[in-house]
């Protein structure tokens, strides 16, 4: 019979998070904002999942935390913008990251561009940049795992214009050289893109073109993407 622990024995990070500001709660993790060593930081807490068997939960959570940190470092080493990792607590599976301020998600950017009546061509420059960055990431054999326009930030550069593109939320990422895995990564993005931003097929096509032009390994990945598109739900069963 488990005994109740007094709150003094709770891990330091858990007590700290009670005072921090909860920004978002997802299925996998809670995201907080707080002060850390004099800076503003984001804390991503992978909380225990009670619906999982405890030993499986522990292993899986720790593995996902480690993979996230590894992928971020790998991306940065290759010149891809991702938030700086300050500190990782493996007892509570919390990652303390740099807070990226003054930014807009690509999702918000596209939505506002469409709302203000701009035509799709105005966003082609952005599509080119995204394609290039994803090509670089896949060339490093990093598969993001959750590519959506909400996981890409546009940081304004001093003059209020859209500056650098930062990838975030590497929680489902892993290292893989397989074109199949990269193809699925692009498929996830395509599905998220087209469902979130109606009438942007030309934009995504432009992104893929930029991706293909920027990566030598792209043809194999695109081939797999085409194959994956033929699978899935509501597909015509004509062989």
Partner 1 sequence: MHLTQDLELFPEQSVTQLLFRDVKNCAELRKMAVEGQIAGALINPSMVLDPFQSLLAANKAVHLEKTGKMKTRSLYSEIIFSLSPTNNISEAFKRFGISDNDNAVLVVLVHNRGDILNMDDIVSKVDGQQIPADQISTLCEVAKIKKLYKLTPQEEKCGSVLDAVVCRMAAKDVV
Where on the chain is the footprint of partner 1 (CB under 8 A)? 11-13, 15-16, 34-39, 66, 69-70, 72-73, 76-82, 84-91, 96, 98, 164
Q: Which is nearer to partner 1, 96 or 204 (CB)?
A: 96
Identify the active-site residue in 89, 128, 146, 181.
146
Instruction: Residue 135: name the closest of 38, 51, 236, 208 by CA.
Output: 208
Q: Whole-angstrom Cα distance, residue 218 to residue 216?
A: 5
Beta-carbon neighbour count of residue 116 at 10 Å? 8
Find all residues with CB under 8 Å of 56, minimum gap 6, and list them: none
128 is catalytic: no
Residue 69 or residue 111: which is nearer to partner 1 going by CB?
69
Q: How far is the CB of 184 from partner 1 (least distance, A)?
A: 24
| Radius of gyration in angstroms for the set of CA atoms belonging to the chain, rounded to a whole number | 20
Q: Kindly state the smallest distance separating residue 107's Cβ from partner 1, in Å.
A: 22
CB of 26 to partner 1, least distance (A): 22
SS3 of residue 230 by DSSP = helix
Shorter beta-carbon distance to partner 1: residue 154 or 208: 154
DSSP for 204-215, please give it. HHHHHHHHHHH-
What amino acid positions are annotated as catalytic residues? Answer: 146
């Amino acid at each position: 019979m488990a005994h109740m622990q007094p709150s003094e024995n709770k891990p330091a990070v858990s007590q700290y998070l009670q005072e921090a500001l909860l920004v978002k709660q997802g299925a996998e993790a809670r995201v907080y904002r707080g002060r850390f060593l004099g800076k503003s930081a984001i804390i991503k807490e992978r909380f225990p999942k009670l619906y999982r068997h405890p030993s499986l939960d522990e292993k899986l959570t720790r593995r996902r935390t480690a993979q996230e940190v590894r992928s971020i470092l790998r991306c940065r080493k290759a010149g891809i913008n991702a938030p700086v990792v300050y500190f990782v607590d493996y007892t509570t599976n919390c990652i303390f990251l740099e807070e990226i301020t003054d930014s807009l998600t690509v999702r918000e950017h596209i939505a506002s561009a469409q709302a203000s009546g701009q035509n799709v061509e105005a966003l082609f420059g952005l599509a080119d940049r995204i394609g290039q960055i994803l090509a670089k990431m896949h060339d490093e054999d990093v598969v993001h795992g959750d590519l959506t326009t909400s996981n890409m930030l546009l940081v304004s550069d001093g003059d209020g214009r859209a500056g650098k593109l930062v990838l975030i939320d590497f929680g489902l990422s892993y290292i893989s050289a397989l074109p199949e895995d990269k193809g699925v990564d692009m498929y996830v993005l395509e599905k998220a893109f087209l469902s979130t931003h109606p009438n942007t097929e030309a934009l995504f096509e432009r992104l893929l073109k930029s991706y293909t032009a920027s990566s030598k390994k792209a043809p194999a990945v695109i081939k797999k993407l085409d194959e994956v598109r033929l699978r899935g739900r509501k597909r015509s069963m004509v062989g």
